[in-house]
Amino acid sequence: MQQIINFLIRNKHSLLFLLLLFISLVFTIQSHSYHRSKFVSSTNFISGGVYGWQHSISDYFKLKNENTRLLEENERLYNQLSAFGVDSVSKKHIDTLRYTVPYTFTKARVIKNDYSKIDNYILINKGEKDSIKPDMGVITDKGIIGIIENTSKHYSRVISILNSNSRINAGLKKSNQYGSLVWNGEDPNIVQLETIPRQAILKEGDTIITHGRSTIFPRGIGIGTILNYKLNQNKNYYLIDVKLFNDMTNIGFVYTIKNNNAEEIKSLEKSEYE
């Protein structure tokens, strides 16, 4: 016993070192696996507060740019409305509770955006208080950004499409073939679309959209255009480089998407497996 205690005292620095290293490695491995409850996250009060404060300063310098983007988006939406023959006043529903829309959009601001690492995360300034929950989709006016992964009271963390853990269903606009969207860690404005079957007819410049095959994104949200494509080694699938519509290095405001039918769909899927 005495010897054990002596050993512990003699090597206390090495043991402390090993303990700390072990803790940090556990955090590291946790961060590399998708959907674990994550302790190390910038959604906490202090880092969220610091980023929010920093953002409130830098916000001013982007106002002009963001105003232009909002106007462009409004213009596009008005044009769509008029194409459907709807004027902007006639369809106002006062009783919003009874009116069942499939998706609810909530605006949020990006207060921290990474794009230079392999696993990038985005921090937005809406959290549980604004009924943001994990597994909601995040988009901008141009296209998709990522999926909410972790929420706190006032902030949520978005797993960006520029993250090696992110896999999002996406496909071609002109046909129904779909694959999964991943990122190889190189260019922040180019992502890869995998497992599009060989039978698909592709052309450079074709549009890639979400296909609504999960409860996260509705169908038809833009992602990007085909930059180039090639068949994989055993010539079954295409590997496609997709140039994103969004400039991932410059994101100001985003919308989160809540699928109001998600629970119904999930319970149906669950009952199928049982």
Residues lying near other proteins in the complex (CB under 8 A) are found at 12-14, 16-17, 20-21, 23-32, 40-42, 44, 46-47, 50-51, 54, 114-119, 121, 123, 157, 164, 185, 188, 249
In Å, what is the CA distance from 271 to each residue of 153, 264, 265, 268? Answer: 32, 11, 10, 5
Residue 59 or 72: the one with the smaller Cβ distance to other proteins is 59
Question: SS3 for 62?
Answer: helix
Number of residues that this document lists for the chain: 274
Residue 32 or 174: the one with the smaller Cβ distance to other proteins is 32
Closest CA to 177 of 244, 238, 246: 238
CA distance 82 to 68: 21
End-to-end CA distance of the chain: 55
Residue 26 or 231: the one with the smaller Cβ distance to other proteins is 26
Q: Contact at 8 Å (CB) between 163 and 146? A: yes
Residue 17 or 105: the one with the smaller Cβ distance to other proteins is 17
Q: Which residue has the tokens 């400039």?
A: 247
Residue 26 or 86: the one with the smaller Cβ distance to other proteins is 26
Q: Is 124 left (phi over 0), alpha (psi -120 to 50) or beta?
A: beta
Q: Which two tokens stand for residue 203?
A: 């052309």
